[in-house]
Amino acid sequence: MLIRLKNKDTLVAGEFKFKCCIGKNGVKKRKIEGDKSTPKGIFSLGDLYFRKDRVKKPNIKLKIIKIKPNMGWCNDPNHKFYNKEILIKKKIGHEKLYRKDHKYDYFIIIKYNTKNIIPNKGSAIFIHLTNNYSPTVGCIALKKKDFLILLKLINKKTKIKIY
């Protein structure tokens, strides 16, 4: 299945159209770290992460990872673990995965800049949750009920087209 970001506020998966939000600065072909844009292109989906203490483990066709308090995602372009999951250490720039808000109660990795990683090309691009559709810093965000429907539609072969 191919899911598509049709415009700034619609994610299409088969017969379903979900309201969503994207990066504050829209979609860009040449994304760079911190530019608050969503990368343009066709990408595979990665693992689903979830907060076991807040939400149920879904029965889906993706690898599922429990988010622990010491988990982060490296966004330091000068670090060897740039754009990878890490255990949080103060000296490494990172996005905290175990958050006080509910944005990352569930999230799916969008495999952007994850193989042959290029420093400063962008990191931590996810499909995650939103309550109010306010712009993200580069991810795609959906309401929880829509995210749970999307999970039932996708599998390891699913790709996302962002244009």
- pLDDT tens digits along 58-109: 999 899 999 999 999 999 999 999 999 999 988 899 999 999 999 999 999 9
Phi, psi of 147 (to 5 degrees): -60, -45
What is the domain-level CATH number for residue 109? Answer: 2.40.440.10
| pLDDT score for 90 | 80
Contact 26, 33 (CB under 8 A): no
- Alpha helices by DSSP H, listed for the chain, are 144-153
Range of the domain at 96: 2-162
| C-alpha closest to that of 125 among 140, 105, 144, 147 | 140
Instruction: Give the number of domains in the chain.
Output: 1
CB atoms within 10 A of CB 153: 15
pLDDT digits (tens, 9 = 90+) for 2-38: 999 988 999 999 999 999 999 999 999 999 999 999 9
Dihedral angle, C-alpha 16, 54, 73, 131, nearest 10 °: 50
Q: How confident is the model at residue 156 (pLDDT cuts 50, 70, 90)?
A: very high
